[in-house]
């Protein structure tokens, strides 16, 4: 009768799959039990008073020492019991509160994760439908292949790190950091790009089509896509003007680098054309009305294996271009160039966001 | 054949990477000799080329393989890297593959 917790019986088993509902239940119980404890205390107080009065009334004469002792003992017992029950109630109340707070924390974490996923998907310029993230091709591809799912996770982290590097470069340049320290920052930034090439190579082995599709990049970046990434000659053309002072020798070297990049890119592009032609031929060979399980599929598959090599060679070209730039430029110039590179990609991502959020009615088109 | 030509490319028949090497060299103004290796002959040819080898520390031949001036130069990786660094053209000129 006196224990408030005996009134609290969970109406059904609480699983972990319904955190929101669980929290509201906890909240209700928390509140109801607090009020139960309070009311029980009040009842107890009233009882004590009533007991005292009845004791006096039934035994008539107050003052007899034996009666007085008995009453005092009974009263003391009752008080002790009440205190003990209060302590118990308070303890259980604290435990419930702790559990409630833990539920809140885990929900918060989950919410943050969901928000991150939504941001990431929005960055990709994908439409977030009512059915959730699983409905778009990004989620679809990731769920099919653990190598790709891994890559996407790592790429998210890689992007954050890249943004940190960009910020560090900006700060370093505006604060006139020393050359040695700046040099380390430059090397670190370059190595970070090389790390991405390694990640892409592993992802290409898992699914070369996926890497080639650029689905892991924002939509504006995809617009400029060339064999799994940025086109080195384009990057040079756009960003070199951002380096202010260069010697004649440097200008000439960079011009030659641009030409070499272009030539290498052309060769790779022509190789890709040939690959496309070969795959297309092997798919179309024989009667087109035949079933799909003809030997031609295996030929096409064999030929497609070369796609991994193309991704690797294109990344190799990107890597060599970055290395050559670092040879031509001073550390400070390289820092400026890498900063420009990081900012350029960030702006492309921002463009993708703007694009994703553009007004749908043609009459409201953005006037530049 | 290796010693007869300033530049010769050994590649698997129908290999797209060999095609890339060829197009790159052609784009530079080089007219490379090309030897297409049949799949069944791959191993044998690779051994022979390794024997001729003579170039660099890594004697293992992978296709496509490029010989410049009679010596094994390397594969597409090396061609790309040396082209970007600007080292390839002087080497080709030295071997007599380029005159411009």
| Residues A128-168: tens digit of each pLDDT | 333 333 333 444 444 567 888 889 999 999 999 999 999 99
Mean per-residue pLDDT over chain A, rounded: 79
Q: Phi then psi for B67, rounded to 5 degrees?
A: -110, 130
Q: Which residue has the tokens 């809140």?
A: A104
Q: B1-59, pLDDT tens digit by residue?
A: 777 888 999 998 888 999 999 999 999 999 899 988 888 888 888 888 888 765 445 56
Contact A313, B76 (CB under 8 A): yes
Check B80 against A316: CB less than 8 A apart: yes
- Cis peptide bond N-terminal to B64, omega within 30: yes
Q: Which of B19, B81, B85 sits opposite A274 (nearest CB)?
A: B19
Spell out which residues of chain B touch residue A270, defining contact as CB-CB under 8 Å: 19-20, 23
Q: Which residue has the tokens 């890594």?
A: B58
* pLDDT value, residue A200: 95
For residue A211, what is the enclosing H or E element?
helix A179-213
pLDDT at residue A56 is higher than 80: no
Check A267 against B23: CB less than 8 A apart: yes
Check A271 against B80: CB less than 8 A apart: no
Spell out which residues of chain B touch residue A253, defining contact as CB-CB under 8 Å: 86
Residue in chain B nearest A319 by alpha carbon: B81
SS (H, E, C) B24-92: HHHHHCCCCEEEEECHHHHHHHHHHHHHHCCCCCCCCCCCCEEEECCEEEECHHHHHHHHHHCCHHHHH
Q: A308-333, pLDDT tens digit by residue?
A: 999 999 999 999 999 999 999 999 99
Cα(A265)–Cα(A231) distance, integer angstroms = 8
Cα(A28)–Cα(A26) distance, integer angstroms = 5
Domains of chain B: 2-94 (3.40.30.10)
Report ipTM (2 d.p.): 0.91
Cα(A41)–Cα(B28) distance, integer angstroms = 95
pLDDT at residue A265 is higher than 50: yes
- Residue A236's contacts (CB-CB under 8 Å, 6 or more residues apart) are A254, A257, A258, A261, A321, A325
B77 touches chain A (CB under 8 A): yes
* pLDDT value, residue A21: 55
**Three-class DSSP category at A349:** helix
Higher confidence at residue A122 or residue A112?
A112
- Nearest residue to A97 (alpha-carbon basis) of A164, A166, A194, A30: A30
Among A63-67, A316-320, A362-366, name the one with the lowest average pLDDT.
Answer: A362-366
Cα(A119)–Cα(A358) distance, integer angstroms = 16
Spell out which residues of chain B touch residue A256, defining contact as CB-CB under 8 Å: 86
Check B23 against A321: CB less than 8 A apart: no
Question: Which tokens sit at A283?
Answer: 């798919």
Check B16 against A264: CB less than 8 A apart: no
What are A's interface residues with B at a Cβ cutoff of 8 A? 253, 256-257, 260-261, 263-264, 266-268, 270-272, 274-275, 278, 303, 306, 309-310, 313, 316-317, 320-321, 323-324, 327
Cα(A346)–Cα(A328) distance, integer angstroms = 25
Contact B79, B24 (CB under 8 A): yes
For residue A69, what is the enclosing H or E element?
helix A65-123
Check A327 against B85: CB less than 8 A apart: yes
Alpha carbon separation from A340 to A166, A211, A222, A335 (Å, rounded): 8, 25, 19, 9
- Residue A271's contacts (CB-CB under 8 Å, 6 or more residues apart) are A310, B16, B17, B19, B20, B23
Residue in chain B nearest A314 by alpha carbon: B80
At A47, the pLDDT band (50, 70, 90 cuts) reads: low
Spell out which residues of chain B touch residue A320, defining contact as CB-CB under 8 Å: 80-81, 84-85
**Three-class DSSP category at B15:** coil
Cα(A320)–Cα(B79) distance, integer angstroms = 11
Among A15-19, B25-29, B61-65, name the one with the lowest average pLDDT.
Answer: A15-19
Give A131→chain B minimum CA distance, Å: 42
Q: Quickly list DSSP for A155-202.
A: HHHHHHHHHHHHHHHHHHHHTT--HHHHHHHHHHHHHHHHHHHHHHHH
B65 touches chain A (CB under 8 A): no
User: Would you say the C-alpha torsion A256, A197, A274, B75 has a positive or negative sign?
Assistant: positive
Average pLDDT on A333-361 reads 91
Higher confidence at residue A32 or residue A118?
A118
Top-confidence range, A232-236, A299-303, A363-367: A232-236
Q: A183-239, pLDDT tens digit by residue?
A: 999 999 999 999 999 999 999 999 999 999 999 999 999 999 999 999 999 999 988
């Amino acid at each position: 009768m006196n224990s408030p917790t005996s009134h609290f019986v969970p109406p059904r088993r609480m699983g972990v799959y319904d955190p929101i509902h669980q929290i509201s239940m906890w909240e209700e119980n928390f509140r109801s039990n607090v009020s139960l404890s309070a009311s029980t205390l009040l009842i107890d107080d009233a009882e004590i008073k009533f007991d005292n009065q009845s004791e006096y009334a039934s035994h008539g004469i107050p003052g007899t020492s034996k009666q007085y002792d008995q009453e005092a003992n009974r009263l003391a017992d009752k008080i002790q019991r009440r205190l003990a029950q209060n302590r118990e109630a308070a303890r259980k109340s604290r435990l419930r509160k702790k559990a409630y707070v833990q539920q809140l924390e885990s929900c918060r974490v989950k919410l943050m994760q969901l928000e991150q996923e939504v941001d990431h998907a929005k960055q990709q310029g994908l439409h977030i439908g009512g059915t959730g993230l699983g409905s778009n091709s990004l989620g679809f591809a990731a769920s099919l292949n653990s190598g790709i799912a891994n890559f996407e996770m790592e790429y998210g982290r890689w992007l954050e790190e890249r943004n940190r590097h960009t910020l560090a470069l900006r700060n370093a340049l505006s604060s006139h950091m020393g050359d040695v320290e700046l040099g380390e920052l430059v090397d670190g930034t370059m190595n970070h790009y090389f790390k991405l090439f390694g990640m892409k190579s592993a992802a290409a082995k898992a699914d070369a089509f996926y890497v080639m599709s650029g689905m892991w990049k924002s939509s504006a970046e995809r617009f400029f896509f060339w064999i799994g990434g940025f086109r080195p000659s384009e990057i040079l053309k756009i960003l070199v003007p951002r380096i202010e002072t260069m010697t004649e020798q440097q200008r000439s070297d960079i011009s030659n680098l641009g030409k070499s990049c272009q030539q290498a890119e052309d060769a790779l592009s022509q190789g890709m054309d040939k690959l496309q032609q070969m795959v297309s031929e092997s798919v179309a060979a024989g009667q087109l009305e035949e079933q799909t399980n003809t030997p031609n599929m295996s030929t096409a598959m064999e030929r497609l294996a070369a796609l991994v090599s193309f991704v690797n060679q294109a990344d190799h070209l990107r890597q060599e271009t970055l290395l050559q730039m670092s040879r031509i430029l001073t550390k400070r110039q390289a820092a400026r160039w890498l900063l420009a590179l990081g900012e350029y990609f960030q702006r492309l991502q921002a463009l993708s966001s703007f694009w994703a959020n553009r007004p749908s009615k043609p009459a409201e088109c953005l006037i530049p | 054949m290796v010693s007869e030509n300033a530049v010769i490319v050994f590649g698997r028949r129908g290999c797209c990477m060999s095609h890339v090497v060829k197009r790159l060299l052609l784009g530079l103004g080089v007219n490379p000799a090309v030897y297409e290796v049949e799949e069944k002959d791959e191993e044998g040819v690779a051994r022979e080329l390794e024997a001729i080898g003579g170039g660099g520390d890594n004697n293992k031949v992978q296709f496509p393989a490029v010989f410049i001036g009679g010596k094994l130069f390397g594969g597409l990786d090396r061609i790309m890297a040396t082209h970007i660094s600007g080292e390839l053209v002087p080497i080709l000129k030295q071997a007599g593959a380029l005159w411009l």
